[in-house]
A and B are shown apart, each in its own frame.
Chain A
Amino acid sequence: MPDTAAPVIRAHRLRKAYGETVAVDDVSFEVAPGEAFGLLGPNGAGKSTTMRMLGGVAARSGGELEILGMDPDRHGPEVRAQLGVVPQLDNLDTELNVRDNLVVYGRYFGIRRAEVARRVDALLAFAQLEEKARSRIDDLSGGMKRRLTIARALVNEPRILLLDEPTTGLDPQARHILWDRLFRLKEQGTTLVLTTHYMDEAEQLCDRLVVVDQGRIMAEGAPAALIREHSTREVLEVRFGSERNAEVAAELDDLGERVEALPDRVLVYAEDGEHVLAEVVRRGHRPITSLVRRSSLEDVFLRLTGRSLVE
């Protein structure tokens, strides 16, 4: 196999423990060059810890890890020189203006001043921040700060871009602008590895993903394949009032492949949602509201990781 087709990331039985607490346990995956790969999971699932190990800032407790063929624990600076990192929390320097934030970061990679200046101009255009070049960081919106953080992560022209929850806290417009920028990077061949809470984001951006829970991989595959494997084609959502949902759900148990009673609604997983709805009505139940929709990654995610609140 030629070098160019070799995985850029190989994780084998990766493990990270903090004392008695195991944050990442026996995680294995590979990421191909140019692929957009996602890590999905609830809070505390081990996504960010995995990202820190990939980023060469947290030593693993066990297993094997290769980034571009190198062990980040042994070749940290060489690995990090070819990574772009977008952290979960913005860590822009608020004492510097937008342009200077990019310049100082570029210098950390040993890029000469003239070259940094050329790249910064291009990155400001890419991030649609040309008019804000001299602005203070505190004067930027949340979306602008995230775009600047992504632009900063690109200053070394990385082969792999690590994005830890890149759109958390952004409004829908800002998210769509950010997705557009990430699509462009993907088109240019940059490998993307991202964690996210947003299922629509994972479906939009990821070629392939793993669902992680309690430090372990629960499922792996392309979004559409995961939906096919772990859910049905359609889902019927019906509401009978919070007092009756559980009672009616028990009577619909034989419909579809699976019935789930939630406090506010009943979900029936089936290949043909309209057909199931007709059967519900034929049995004399009158839902307050009904909705037939296609199965989504969210259905898969909630099925694999459970619906209990994880803080």
Chain B
Amino acid sequence: MTSAPVAERARREAPGGRSRRLGAWYVLEHELREIRSYGVVTIAEALGAPLIAWLAFGLGVGALVQAGTGSAGIDGVPYLAFVLPAMMCGLALQVWSQEAMFGTLIGITWRRTFVAMRATPLSVPQIATGFVLSVLVRTATAAIPYAVVVWIAGAFSSPWAPASVAAALLGAAAFGVPLMAYAATIRRDTGQPAMVFRFVVLPLTLFSGTMFPLSTLPDWLEWIGWASPLWHSSQLARAAAYGTTEPAWLVLVHLGVLVVLVAAGWWLFVLGLRRRLER
């Protein structure tokens, strides 16, 4: 059962060559058009979140903590400088988590946009990569304005400070990409997204050394921080924002943990999508 000339001609004429090279970019294009459709929310969030954090931690809790720590501050810097880079990481993680969870459910189950993509020359790894890149862009639209506000607030003192945005994005991806893999396993929404946000994202935010040093927690709670991408990214962001006394090897550990989590998450996400889209 062969018809080699027909096959050869069809392969030659196949217009999918560009898709093989640029498939992930086309998915990104699609997702960016969607992001544009809710641009007002994006702008409001980008400006509102850091201003609220500035007010709360600069004038509210921050004033109280600062009064307690005196001129020594925390980690050798004023409390506002200590907390804002980590808060930026927390915001990035929350934005990425929302987009990861709901974007994946939309793609596979709710609007089935990934199913539509799969009927074209696009491969599953291209769909996964394009989607991850789109969430990266979406999260950057929240993290970059945040960093600008942090800079205006005077909380950046190192020339490496812009790298704190990269740390925030990497940390968000280290949690958010594995979350995409989990979301791809949800066949019926029975409240799993709410559970994840209440019992995983919120505790991570509270126990990852974002608002206080991890060492102040009792030993039996400190492990949450060590396992948390948010702690690793917050420490990296602080190192970039004002420099820390952490040894270089620990900075490399932070980076390594985050990179491994992103890579493992992407691999599991591709597997999950294959299971759902190629039946």
Contacts and interface: CB of A to CB of B under 8 A. Distances in A.
Interface of A: 3, 6-7, 10, 12, 18, 52, 55, 57-59, 64, 66, 68-70, 75-78, 80-83, 85, 87, 89, 91-96, 100, 104-105, 107-111, 156, 159
Interface in B32-79: 33-34, 37-38
A102 B93 CA distance: 33
B222 interface: no
Nearest to B116: A91
Contacts of B10: 68-70, 78, 82, 159
Nearest 7 Cβ contacts at the A-B interface: A110-B18, A69-B7, A81-B16, A69-B6, A91-B112, A68-B10, A108-B120
A57 B118 contact: yes
Nearest to B122: A108
Nearest to B110: A94
Contact of A108 (B2, B19, B111, B279): B19
Given A80-B119, A91-B113, A91-B116, A68 B26 contact: no
Given A58-B279, A87-B119, A109 B5 contact: no
A57 B33 contact: no
15 contacts: A3-B6, A18-B279, A57-B119, A77-B20, A78-B14, A80-B121, A82-B14, A82-B15, A93-B116, A94-B111, A104-B29, A107-B30, A108-B23, A108-B117, A109-B16
B255 interface: no
B113 A93 contact: yes
A134 to B, nearest CB: 12
Interface of B, helix, strand, loop or mixed by DSSP: helix
B216 interface: no
A77 B15 CA distance: 10
A123 to B, nearest CB: 15
A81 B13 CA distance: 9
A107 B1 contact: no
A75 B11 contact: yes
A78 B15 CA distance: 8
B7 A68 contact: yes
B277 A108 contact: no
Contacts of B4: 69
A252 B116 CA distance: 54
B227 interface: no
Nearest to A7: B3
Interface of B: 1-11, 13-20, 22-23, 26-27, 29-30, 33-34, 37-38, 111-113, 115-123, 277-279
B110 to A, nearest CB: 9
Nearest to A152: B116
B29 A57 contact: no
A77 B124 CA distance: 11
A95 B3 contact: no
A78 B7 CA distance: 10
B35 to A, nearest CB: 9
Contacts of B6: 3, 6, 68-69
Contact of A3 (B9, B23, B279): B9
B19 A109 contact: yes
Q: By CB atoms of chain A within 10 A, which of B15, B113, B119 has the most?
A: B119
A107 B277 contact: no
Contacts of A159: 10
B112 A108 contact: no
Nearest to A59: B278
A96 B106 CA distance: 14
B25 to A, nearest CB: 9
A57 B277 CA distance: 7
B113 A110 contact: no
Nearest to B123: A77
B37 A96 contact: yes
Contacts of A156: 15, 120
A66 B120 contact: no
B53 to A, nearest CB: 29
A58 B278 contact: yes
A3 B115 contact: no
